Amino acid sequence: MSIVEAVSAAIGSFVIGSLAAYLIEQQEEKEEEGKEEEETKMKENIDDDDGKIKKKKKKNTWRRMFFKEAKAEAASVAGTAAPKAVKMYTRLDVAEHDSIEKRVWCSYKENVYDVTDFLDNHPGGRDLLLLAAGKDIEPFWRLYQAHVNSDVAMEMLKTLKIGELDLEKEPKVDVDETDPYKNDPERHPALKCHSAKPANMEPPLSLLRREYLTPSSLWFVRNHSPVPIIDAATHEITIVSGEQSQDNLNLLRTKAVINLEHLKKDFEKKTVVATVQCGGNRRGGLDLIKKSSGTGWGEGAISTAKFAGASLRDVLEVHAGINLHNYERLGIKHVIFYGADDMRASIPIEKALSPFGDVLLAYEMNDCEELPRDHGYPLRVIVPGHVGVRNVKWLSKIKLCSEEADGPWNRGIAYKGFGPGYSSVEGLNIDSVPTMQEMPIQSVVAEAENISLSLATTSKNDDGEKRTVVQTSAKGFAWSGGGRAIIRVDVSANKGLSWQTATLKEGADQPLSKAWAWTFWEIDDLEIDASKLKPGDEIKVLVKAVDASYNAQPEGAAAIWNLRGLNNNSWHAFTVKVEE
């Protein structure tokens, strides 16, 4: 019996049983209420002929027989067999079943389910369901509210139940009170963990392109230290200007001390939809050429959100007296942001003061009342179009000065790109290499359908030659730093010998010079020569994009390899399989 048939049978039985039980209950109530009345009538008719009395008794007997049979049917439907003993499992038992070979289990609330046979029937595709293999499925259901807003999913899941969680046997976790990371927030189980302390995690591609605004729980996490514990009610941001040195401390002047309530009350709430990408996104692709230094990110160290907060430009003018008319005279060249985690990074003053720069002191994300802890609660900087590290989280201080920030994130090698010929920085003049600010153009294939040879078609070209082709579809995203809009995305399935232009979707209507967020793209008719394909073969779907400045992506990663593994924007490849 199929899953659908099983659910239909279950629902049908439930309806029949409920209806029968309801009718029985109603009839018993009526019989009880009319008992005295019926006995009275029987007594009144005692002098009538026997036929009338027998007729009444016979009618009542048939009615009782019907409801007696209905009651028995309801009891049969409600439980045709004695209840079986419930099997008990621990979360560790569930975690072991994380693949098709081991059977795919998941848990929800206190119950355990085997969803292996449902994988191919899952409306979102088997790959999405496999993300929850061996895990609690509830965090995944929260991403798609259809699961919790309807009884259909729950009824379906009930048919797959194999047992319950034995919570009494759950292993006790001893908290190390000396662990500086003990108060870090919980993260979504779908995130791939590159390191837990500090947290460096990215979402799978299969989830990244599902929504234009990335759910905050699926945002990539890039932390340099434990997540600070901050009380928003008492948190303050200090604005200072000038230089500070051991010889002359008087040059550092405090301009203002402000708090979150002040920002919300006294400054216009502005919004910006912005994509934030880590400078090391796709570093794993460079590592295939030669090992670089840093976290081996896949393609998921990039996310998009709608941020809301106060304009940095407005705040600096009100509290520091700095604007586009006087910053040069005052010798201000950089704005340095300090985080409560001791992180510090700077941006050019021109970006901060530009009316087109849209730099925010953000306190909201995706229309929520506050930022999540992992993403800067209660206040962070959003620098649209710039590398992720400039978007400092847990903001505690802003400094205006003539020099960029000191420390590894500006002065060191962490965010500086060196040529592919350098495997070390020995002998290099590090200070001569500018630190990353705006990012280069990027595009990624997030989804692509496997190729079905049964759908291949054969036709003749103008020369009379036969041509057998099959089509597939693909989806992805593209983004370029500096607000440069995506104007074209090209896709190939024959190693770049020929290209087809994809359709630009969400994000395509952004201004050419203020496109702070990514653009989604898709193609439904990507043609592939099927004449030599056979089941089991693999095809790489390639993508490259062009922005409003006609910047294009390089073909291979070897030409842009660098020892820090930064700015990998080579053509991205997504592998699909050939099926019958």
Is the pLDDT at 33 greater than 70? The verdict is no
Of 412, 432, 452, the residue at which a domain comes to its end is: 432
Beta carbons within 8 Å of 569's beta carbon, 6+ residues apart: 282, 440, 441, 442, 443, 553, 554, 560
Residues 142 and 288 in one domain: no
Residues 293 and 415 in one domain: yes
Which residue has tokens 């206040």?
379
Full-model pTM: 0.79
Residues 146 and 246 in one domain: no
What is the domain extent for residue 12?
3-78
Residues 256 and 280 in one domain: yes
> Among the options 122, 262, 319, 411, which is catalytic?
122
Residues 158 and 280 in one domain: no
319 annotated active-site: no
368 annotated active-site: no
> Among the options 89, 108, 278, 363, which is catalytic?
278
If one counts every other C-beta atom within 10 angstroms of the C-beta of residue 507, the result is: 22
> Among the options 89, 97, 113, 147, which is catalytic?
147
Q: How far is CA 36 from CA 27, 33, 60, in A?
A: 15, 7, 15
Percent of the chain, pLDDT > 90? 67
- Region 197-209: mean pLDDT is 96
Neighbouring C-alpha atoms within 13 Å toward the C-beta of 558: 1
Question: Does 199 fall in a domain?
Answer: no
Residues facing 337 on adjacent strands: 345, 398
At 169, the pLDDT band (50, 70, 90 cuts) reads confident
Question: Does 176 fall in a domain?
Answer: no
147 annotated active-site: yes
Q: Tell me, what's the pLDDT at 427?
A: 87
Q: How far is CA 228 from CA 184, 366, 375, 393, 485, in A?
A: 8, 22, 11, 10, 35
Tens-digit pLDDT profile for residues 437-454: 999 999 999 999 999 999
Is the pLDDT at 4 greater than 50? The verdict is no
334 annotated active-site: no
At 464, the pLDDT band (50, 70, 90 cuts) reads confident
Of 17, 50, 78, the residue at which a domain comes to its end is: 78
Is the pLDDT at 265 greater than 80? The verdict is yes
Question: Does 97 fall in a domain?
Answer: yes
Tens-digit pLDDT profile for residues 107-125: 998 999 999 999 888 877 7
Residues 310 and 393 in one domain: yes
CATH at residue 551: 2.60.40.650
Which H or E run contains 494? none
Number of structural domains (the chain) is 4
At 140, the pLDDT band (50, 70, 90 cuts) reads confident
> Among the options 188, 282, 415, 484, which is catalytic?
415
Residues 368 and 490 in one domain: no
> Among the options 188, 222, 344, 564, which is catalytic?
222
Beta carbons within 8 Å of 18's beta carbon, 6+ residues apart: none
Of 78, 99, 124, the residue at which a domain comes to its end is: 78
Residues 271 and 333 in one domain: yes
Residues 61 and 109 in one domain: no
- The secondary structure of 209-268 as a DSSP string is TSSSSPPGGGS-EE-SSPPP---TTT-EEEEEES---SS-GGG-EEEEEEEHHHHHHHS-
At 386, the pLDDT band (50, 70, 90 cuts) reads very high
415 annotated active-site: yes
Q: What are the backbone angles phi and psi of residue 136, rounded to the nearest 5°?
A: -75, 125
Question: Does 146 fall in a domain?
Answer: yes
Higher pLDDT pick, 445 / 412: 445
